[in-house]
Structure 1
Amino acid sequence: MRASLNYNDYFKLILNNVDYGENILIRIEQTEDRGRTLFALSDIKYMDVLFREKSLLYGPLHDSPSVCLNCLKQVSDEVCEYCGLPLCTEPCSTYFNHDDYECNLFQLAKYRPTINDFESINPLYQCITPLRMLLTRDNLPDKWTILQNMSSVIGTQQTRECENNVVNYLIDYWKLDFTKEDVRHVVEVLKNNAFEVNSTTKTKPGGPGRGIFPLHALTNHSCAPNITYRYISEDDHMECFAIRDIRKGEELFNSYIDYNEDLETRRETLRAGWNFECKCERCLADDK
């Protein structure tokens, strides 16, 4: 059973990774039909930055070739000397420490993966980011509490597909001290709430991955959004900014998909990925 926080306590906890600048422009509210979401606390101008949020954690993509587990740059034959997982042999640009997470687990299990093909998609990477999320329970309890209180949609097509690759692998093969519900929850949190990031900077190579940004994740979807985001790899922050003028009291909406698509394509994508049908003003107008 996951411990549930009220929205005020949850908001205070996630603010540890958030920079508002000079003025707080948003507030969190618990709604009856859409859960916790964000509203404008004052009038916001086009291109105003509402907040900057550091990632709770990040990791490689679900369908990733062999990349460095620190900087996410694709590697050819470089591995960690302790656990055997792909890792740059030279110091690399990183805001994540592989040594503190899966490296210890692989060492304790006395299992060194053998990777012969560094170019093809490596199924092992499906487990890395969910594993990092689970491992916060014992060492980073505040992060674990946040993850436990993030929304998930159990039973989607993606969950069923990952049952064997992630859930059963981590529980049955690795014998981790977590329930299958725990693993399914973090997998769904990742699928429903993660944002794509790219660790490449102006001076250091990197690569694509996915990160958890709990405050950004509170924004609901609309096919006519009023905010969007950009990832700043130099300091591992996601920046939320307005894409039109927003009035005080308006709900903040992000678009989970390409909102330039036609109505049926948008609905199909949302049903498959998030298990809901959009009822925003634009969709209702397009449906007439």
Structure 2
Amino acid sequence: MGRKRNHQKKSPAVDATDSPLLSCQVSPVYGRYLCTKVDVQKGDLLIKEKYLVAGPLSLSGVVCIGCHSDLSKKFFRFKCTKCSWPLCANKCQKSPFHAIECQFLLEHKILPPEEPDSVSYGAITVLRACLLKKTKPREYSKLMGLEAHNDIRKGLPLWDANEEHVVKVIRDEWKLGQDFTADEIHTICGILEVNGFEIGDVYSFLGLFAVTSMLAHDCVPNATHFENIDEGVMERQRR
């Protein structure tokens, strides 16, 4: 996941691995991957990284726009006083997750879906990623350095699902066609799908981590991870 096969191209995601313990290598078969520079001991901290973007899972139902808890079976008692999107509590209006798009939703008069079973909430995560282009261009560059596998995904049903529930929602329903192209949105969908992690314990949502996404699969686990949801941080330690 997260690895490109181009031997010459070096992305900001690779540059970010300036750890004294880790380096990013390239395999002619698997592309980019992380490996240790030195022998590491049990308990050594390998990576501590804040998410590039986080939000509701793809095709998510109704969730709190602040903490991503499930609201599908709850009565909407709270909503953001600025953009009117649903919250599970007033405190979630100040969530750093929601701060990314709140003013944008307000300025563009984008209201939450009226249908209680809407899957449009997953499009919020993609919108948050798109907005990095304007608000945090360096992080957007790291995000776009990850693999989307568009050539493979175009032949899968998931591509059509993204077209219906994400691309059309952002460009047509939310009338943001002038801001984001269909190709750009599809690419971001792919990056999130290929590289994202499902995080959270009480409720699950998606988090994308530029360096952590470079980890290659190993049939014998040699590391474990810890999540600090409040700070949006993931840690990987030698086990």
Provide TM-score, normalisation by structure 1: 0.68
Structure 2: unaligned runs, 5 residues or longer: 1-5
SS in 2 for 1:91: helix
Cα–Cα, structure 1 residues 11 and 105, in superposed 2: closer, same or farther, change >3 Å? Answer: same
Q: Which has the higher contact order (CA 8 A, sep 6+)?
A: 2
In structure 1, what residue type is equivalent to 2:145? N
Query: Root-mean-square deviation (CA), in Å?
Result: 2.7
Shift of 1:181: 1.4
Shift of 1:224: 3.1
Q: Which has the larger radius of gyration?
A: 1
Cα–Cα, structure 1 residues 27 and 14, in superposed 2: closer, same or farther, change >3 Å? Answer: closer
2 CA distance for matches of 1:193 and 1:94? 27
2 CA distance for matches of 1:110 and 1:9? 34
Where in structure 2 are the equivalents of 1:1-288 lying within 5 Å? 6-7=9-10, 9-13=12-16, 24-75=20-71, 76-77=75-76, 78-92=78-92, 96-101=96-101, 103-113=102-112, 115=114, 117=116, 120=117, 122-154=118-150, 155-156=152-153, 157=156, 158-173=158-173, 174-176=175-177, 177-198=179-200, 207-243=203-239
2 CA distance for matches of 1:8 and 1:186? 16
Indicate conservation of the 8 Å contact 1:57/1:96, yes or no.
no
1 CA distance for matches of 2:237 and 2:93? 26
Shift of 1:79: 1.5
2 CA distance for matches of 1:93 and 1:232? 20
Shift of 1:152: 1.2
Cα–Cα, structure 1 residues 82 and 234, in superposed 2: closer, same or farther, change >3 Å? Answer: closer
In structure 2, what residue type is equivalent to 1:133? A
1 CA distance for matches of 2:110 and 2:35? 48
In structure 2, what residue type is equivalent to 1:80? C
Q: How many residues align?
A: 223
Question: Percent of aligned pairs with the same residue?
Answer: 25
Provide TM-score, normalisation by structure 2: 0.80
Structure 1: unaligned runs, 5 residues or longer: 201-206, 244-288
